[in-house]
Structure 1
Amino acid sequence: MRTTYRVLAWILALEVVVQAAAIAWALFGLSAWIEGGGVLDAAAMEAEPQFDGVVGFMVHGLNGQMIVPVVALVLLVVSFFAKLPRGVAYAAALFVMVLLQVLLGIVSHSIPALGMLHGALALAILVTAVLSARLTAAPASTATPAAMA
């Protein structure tokens, strides 16, 4: 179970990278499309404009609302069986942060300033997932050379 815990934590960290890459692809594609003469208004949004990177918005939304929360939930369940010191606490913190992240992603469309928290929380999730994965590392030997002799 420790290996499963570690793999899930690394997957969660990788998912944050995928999320950042997807939204960057989408926004740079949108920017290039606008610079090339595309117009983004309510009518264009309803018509679903086609530009290089539009898939990034879909990847970011579906991945963030479906895959990331499932990985975080599975990590939380596995944490109870992995018997790692602080493993449950890290997994629970990650699960709560992911739920808050999804909520911020939804609410930020109405209150754009919350988008800053959405971005900052993504970094916190990344760091916590990496620290969580590292919990499974074998502890360094604390024996002194004199004790080994």
Structure 2
Amino acid sequence: MVYTVLAFAVAGLVVVQAAAIAFAVFGLSAWIEQGGTLDAAAMQNEVTFPGVVGFMIHGMFGSMVIPAVALLLLISSFFARTAGAVRWGLIVFVTTAVQVALGIFAHGVPQLGILHGILALVLFGAAVMAGLQGRRKGAAVTTSVGVETAAAPVAHA
């Protein structure tokens, strides 16, 4: 259950990321259209405009919150009694790590922003797949000695 909740939490946090960056960019655009000027001096003086908090949310969630939840997902995958949990936990974790790296390096190489946006969709899909994998009824389970057996169906309310 913890594995499933964490997987869907990653997916939900990716949605928050998309909403936050859209809020920030549209807020910045509206501010510029109303006469605001964005340059290095403005950036150093902490420009305020509707949506500026979106940049902060995107940065904080992307660099700290999602990686922490992805790590917890990976750790919990070793205890989940669902076939494929470790594989999907690892996919989500590695995708998150690459996503963070792209977000950092895209400041110097803006073209990486394209991959950052695409990989966000991949991360969302992987997290949803991990969550669905955790909810599977009667999924095969790998025992401590590496033998795969059928698990008893899990009753869901």
TM-score by length of 2: 0.86
Task: Give 5+ residue unaligned stretches, structure 2.
Answer: 140-157
Q: Which residue of 2 aligns with 1:145?
A: none
- Residue 63 of structure 1 aligns to a residue whose secondary structure is helix
Q: Distance in 1 between matches of 2:22 and 2:111?
A: 18
Q: Is 1:40 equivalent to 2:44 in the alignment?
A: no
Any residues of structure 2 matched to 1:1-149 within 5 Å, and which?
A: 3-135=1-133, 136-139=135-138
Rounded to whole Å, the distance in 1 between the matches of 2:137 and 2:25 is 41
Deviations 1:36-55 (A, max 9, x none): 00000000000111100000
* 5+ residue gaps, structure 1: 141-149
- What SS does structure 1 have at the residue aligned with 2:79? helix
**Higher helix residue share:** 1
**Structure 1, residues 71-106: CA drift from partner, whole Å, max 9, x if none?**
000000000000211110110011011011000000
Query: What TM-score do you get using the length of structure 1 for normalisation?
Result: 0.90
Amino acid at match of 2:6: L
Q: Any idea what SS the aligned residue of 1:81 has?
A: coil
Q: Which has the higher contact order (CA 8 A, sep 6+)?
A: 1
- Report the Cα offset of residue 137 of structure 1: 2.4
In structure 2, distance between residues paired with 1:17 and 1:53:
16
Number of residue pairs matched by the alignment:
138
Matching residue's letter, 1:129: A
